Structure 1
Amino acid sequence: MPVERPEDRREEEEGAVRPARPAKPLRRLVRVAFLLVALGFGAWAVARQWTEISAGFARLSWPSLVLSLVAVVAALGGGMMTWRSLLADLGSPLPVRAGAKVFFVGQLGKYIPGSLWPVLAQMEMGRELGVPRPRSAAAFFLTLPVQLASGLVVSAVTLLVALPGTAVPYAWVFLLVPVLAVAFEPRVINAVLGFGLRKLGRGPLERPLTRRGMLTALGWATLGWIAYGLHLAALVTQLGPSGASAVLFSIGAFALSWCLGIMTFVVPAGAGVREVAMVAVMAPVLDRGSAIAVALCSRVVIVIGDLVCAGAAGLAARREVPSPHDAAREESG
């Protein structure tokens, strides 16, 4: 039975990032099972509406679909950097490749019904890199409100500029903005996190969040929304209006529909809710048939983007994993 060295315990307590070690057979089996289940639910979410989706794809050109996918990958990268900046501010800075693997592979869990699969996956994968589980959980649960707040602000600004009347039916959603602005004061967040950790019987966070870290996360999240909007604009301009106003409208429409969808936690990745909201938001610029085609094709492009990012991050991170021989030599030294 391997003996735990004091320095190993100290590394985990302080959140030091260490090279990932080869996973044990049981842990590897659990990870494979997680990926298969996530992929299965993701495929089911697409297959159950495949007739409508294929009809939507038939109305779009391949260049627009490729451009939409490129924008989605950039948007997902913005989401990863949002989470990574929060984790670093909490005391666990991860290299980009390692952080991308933890984030993107863990995010596949959003396709499984329930809200905890992504955070559980990120906690276990982060632990292999020396990130304490409470810190991983804190970064995960902070990412969602950061994206929600930035998404509401982005949607309010862009929709008001593009088509002022579009945002009026959803004015009640924007009432959350001042509430979230107060909640993002670091002293408030740190007090809430400390209270939650005490209730769970955990010790306090070693490093509190700072205003600079929060602003960095909000900046990355905003860039992510712009990229998501470009993803939607590549589809909308094929079936409806074009130009700068259409691009601004697409940015606001996607951000608003995502914010409405994320408020529903009982379906995988907000499946269905976001599409319904997107069709409603796009009603001023697209007929119902075109709006449904765009919403469903957007769903498929995002699923493909999730798979591309998870696969690319996994392959990139494997290049940094030391071989068993190197790991053994490092431990003996």
Structure 2
Amino acid sequence: MIGKRGLKRLLRAAFLLAAVALGAYALADQWPSVRGGLARLTPGVIAGSLAAVLAALAASMMTWRALLADLGSPLPVRPAARVFFVSQLGKYIPGSLWPVLAQMEMGRDLGVPRARSATAFFLSLPVYVATGLVLALVTVPGEQVYGYAWLLLPLLVLLHPRIVNGVLGLGLRLLRREPLERPLTFGGIGRAFLWAFAAWLLYGAHLGILVAGLGGAGPRAYVLSAGAFALAFCLGIVVIVAPAGAGVREAAMVAALAPVLGAGAALTAALCSRLIVTAGDLASAGIAALVARRRVRAAALPEPGSGDAPGGRPDSAPGDQAVHPH
């Protein structure tokens, strides 16, 4: 009979298996449409774009970590990275709540209350959208972005510490949950904003490298790439019915990049971007999980000369002690 702990591990394994499988399926599904476009890009361009995506994902993790710390649960970078990157694979599973559910469960293992994990997750969304729209407003010309500018005012008002703390307090009372132990501060939200801007700029670098590889050279191409990705990604967040913003991001990106690339090359850049971002999601989760597993194993091993090595104690037979990875 499976106990509660065994069932929990089984469910986590099922989540991870489903997320990785669907992420891999997304890569395979996108491959036929991007194969020709990738053939136009050099290996250096593809590697540089992927490196920028990994850096952008790290900045996104730091955004979430800054909010979580301000709420009272500061986490070291490596455990935070494992929770964030692995949970983000949930966005490839149909439905919009898998990432936050995964963060709540994985964060609980690190002593983070579930309500606090959920609060940090949902607060990160308006932070991303607000900073992304600001970047898009100053980089993407014309009516392509002005129609969404009205979202900025309510987002910025909502993110004022006094207002957001009041809204969170009311919500927790209605849900009959304990109130926030530590209210959000200007400093915490400000740090989250700075990391979010860094993430958008790095995502812009990822797209700008692809655009340059497809013939869109010059500073204007990079500036437009940064705004195009931010606008497209924000729309992908707002339209939550599409898994990982499927289809929505590409349409917005093509419209924004067409002035510097033309419609055909802009579509190629958008499709290649989605493939590389998907690869970055899978790679970052894999790296974070691998690093965490190695640290657990290293912590379980006895220090040299301590006399605790297997067979090292006079009263124990070789092999009596075993290392059990988490």
Using the size of structure 1 for normalisation, the TM-score is 0.86
Aligned residues: 298
Match of 2:188 in 1: 213
Secondary structure of 2:53's match? helix
Q: Which structure is higher in RCO with an 8 Å CA cutoff and minimum separation 6?
A: 1
Give, in whole Å, the separation in 2 of the partners of 1:323 and 1:29.
Answer: 23
| 2:280 maps to 1:305 | yes
C-alpha spacing 1:325/1:200, structure 2 compared with 1 (3 Å):
farther
User: Following TM superposition, by how much is the alpha carbon of 1:80 offset from its aligned partner in structure 2, in angstroms?
Assistant: 0.1
CA RMSD of aligned residues (A): 1.8
User: Following TM superposition, by how much is the alpha carbon of 1:201 offset from its aligned partner in structure 2, in angstroms?
Assistant: 1.7
| 2:133 maps to 1:152 | yes
User: Following TM superposition, by how much is the alpha carbon of 1:324 offset from its aligned partner in structure 2, in angstroms?
Assistant: 10
User: Following TM superposition, by how much is the alpha carbon of 1:124 offset from its aligned partner in structure 2, in angstroms?
Assistant: 0.3
Alpha-carbon contact 1:186-1:209 (below 8 Å) kept: yes
Amino acid at match of 2:246: A
Match of 2:247 in 1: 272
Alpha-carbon contact 1:75-1:223 (below 8 Å) kept: yes
User: Following TM superposition, by how much is the alpha carbon of 1:241 offset from its aligned partner in structure 2, in angstroms?
Assistant: 2.2
Give, in whole Å, the separation in 2 of the partners of 1:324 and 1:237.
Answer: 48
Sequence identity of aligned pairs in percent?
Answer: 57
Alpha-carbon contact 1:45-1:271 (below 8 Å) kept: no
1:270-294 superposed Cα distances (whole Å, 9 cap, x missing partner): 1111112111111111222211111
Match of 1:12 in 2: none
Matched ranges for 1:153-302 at <5 A: 153-159=134-140, 166-302=141-277
User: Following TM superposition, by how much is the alpha carbon of 1:325 offset from its aligned partner in structure 2, in angstroms?
Assistant: 9.6
Amino acid at match of 1:98: P
Q: Which of 5, 10, 16 is the equivalent residue of 1:29?
A: 10
Secondary structure of 2:110's match? coil
User: Following TM superposition, by how much is the alpha carbon of 1:24 offset from its aligned partner in structure 2, in angstroms?
Assistant: 4.2
Give, in whole Å, the separation in 1 of the partners of 2:169 and 2:294.
Answer: 37
Alpha-carbon contact 2:169-2:179 (below 8 Å) kept: yes
Match of 2:74 in 1: 93
Unaligned regions of 5+ residues in structure 2, if any? 304-326
Give, in whole Å, the separation in 2 of the partners of 1:222 and 1:207.
Answer: 25
Match of 2:42 in 1: 61
Secondary structure of 2:260's match? coil
Match of 2:93 in 1: 112
Match of 1:134 in 2: 115
Amino acid at match of 2:124: T
Give, in whole Å, the separation in 1 of the partners of 2:150 and 2:26.
Answer: 31
Secondary structure of 1:60's match? coil
Give, in whole Å, the separation in 1 of the partners of 2:293 and 2:206.
Answer: 29
Match of 1:323 in 2: 300
Give, in whole Å, the separation in 1 of the partners of 2:108 and 2:301.
Answer: 19
Give, in whole Å, the separation in 2 of the partners of 1:44 and 1:268.
Answer: 13
Give, in whole Å, the separation in 2 of the partners of 1:169 and 1:124.
Answer: 39
Give, in whole Å, the separation in 2 of the partners of 1:49 and 1:63.
Answer: 21
Amino acid at match of 2:34: I
The higher radius of gyration belongs to: 2
Match of 2:323 in 1: none
User: Following TM superposition, by how much is the alpha carbon of 1:88 offset from its aligned partner in structure 2, in angstroms?
Assistant: 0.2
Amino acid at match of 2:242: V
**Which has the larger displacement, 194-203 or 246-255?**
194-203
Unaligned regions of 5+ residues in structure 1, if any? 1-22, 160-165, 327-333
Give, in whole Å, the separation in 2 of the partners of 1:285 and 1:122.
Answer: 39
1:168-202 superposed Cα distances (whole Å, 9 cap, x missing partner): 23212111112211111101101111111122221
Give, in whole Å, the separation in 2 of the partners of 1:244 and 1:35.
Answer: 41
Give, in whole Å, the separation in 2 of the partners of 1:121 and 1:57.
Answer: 33
User: Following TM superposition, by how much is the alpha carbon of 1:266 offset from its aligned partner in structure 2, in angstroms?
Assistant: 1.2
Matched ranges for 1:65-84 at <5 A: 65-84=46-65
**Which has the larger displacement, 73-82 or 266-275?**
266-275
1:83-139 superposed Cα distances (whole Å, 9 cap, x missing partner): 000000000000000000000000000111111100000000000110000000000
Amino acid at match of 1:236: V
Alpha-carbon contact 1:87-1:135 (below 8 Å) kept: yes
**Which has the larger displacement, 146-155 or 273-282?**
273-282
User: Following TM superposition, by how much is the alpha carbon of 1:141 offset from its aligned partner in structure 2, in angstroms?
Assistant: 0.3
Secondary structure of 1:240's match? coil
Give, in whole Å, the separation in 2 of the partners of 1:254 and 1:66.
Answer: 18
Give, in whole Å, the separation in 2 of the partners of 1:272 and 1:84.
Answer: 29
Using the size of structure 2 for normalisation, the TM-score is 0.87
1:132-177 superposed Cα distances (whole Å, 9 cap, x missing partner): 0000000000011101000011111223xxxxxx342321211111
